[in-house]
Amino acid sequence: MTKTAVITGATSGFGLACARRFAADGWRLVLAARRADRLEAAKDELSKKTTVHVATLDVRDRAAVERTFASLPSPFDAPDLLVNNAGLALGINPAQTADVDDWDVMVDTNIKGLTYCTRAVLPGMVARNRGHVINMGSVAASWPYAGGNAYGATKAFVQQFSRNLRSDLLGTRVRVTNVEPGMAETEFSLVRFKGDEAKAAKVYAGADALTADDVADVVHWAATLPDRVNVNVVEVMPTCQAWGPFAVHRKT
């Protein structure tokens, strides 16, 4: 049976890499993202391998999310997999000087957008008694760092929301996985620094960071295990990344 994957934030980074990985297996794809031109480019590329439906969508718009999922045409209207990938970080300032507008965008996208998409797809999955929700979290959910304030908090929400979904779905065959990457070289830092390429490049300088394909492989692995297997959480970092000592501010 050909399966269908819905991927949000599907035009770059982890989302596009996941789309390519599942297309290689012949999964039908529903690709959702804000940038229509990039969606069409992804469709042109991936239609050579599988059937693709695209939806221009800002996950922050609850009504638009509901319309998009309610109007999926056959055979895309019974998703087997939702990859909640749409998300972002903005800024690296400490909380006392952070831009509250940036906080709003992160909360609206990483938390509210993810819950809107999940709520839209879950009833059908439960009715069919099959399906899988994979949420794109972050190591920032568990491990704080300076300037990670609201971003880390949004990913902590994703972590706990994923756990609670598992509790709510007990007794069904609907699975939930939270994938938590560490440092990965994508457009993530370019977005965080609002297009400042020099700042973004410094994040990865001298580091052998994860690639989008690495993370896509993890998502694909979790999604293609037997239905009896639920991978609750995968925390994955590049070998070059680890935890440091506790930070201590000392008087001088």
> Which one of 116, 145, 151, 204 is the catalytic residue?
151
The C-alpha atoms of residue 77 and residue 72 are separated, in whole angstroms, by 5
| Catalytic (active site) residue 151 | yes
The C-alpha atoms of residue 239 and residue 237 are separated, in whole angstroms, by 6
The C-alpha atoms of residue 196 and residue 184 are separated, in whole angstroms, by 17
- Given a contact cutoff of 8 angstroms between Cβ atoms, the answer to whether 148 and 105 are in contact is no
The alpha carbon dihedral of 90, 164, 115, 131 has a sign of: positive
- Given a contact cutoff of 8 angstroms between Cβ atoms, the answer to whether 42 and 9 are in contact is no
- Given a contact cutoff of 8 angstroms between Cβ atoms, the answer to whether 26 and 49 are in contact is yes
The encoded tokens of residue 246 equal 């506790």
Q: How many angstroms from the chain centroid is the CA of residue 223? A: 14
Q: Which has the closest alpha carbon to 91: 77, 104, 75, 80?
A: 104
3-state secondary structure of 53: strand
β-strand partners of 225: none
3-state secondary structure of 119: helix
Active-site positions read 151
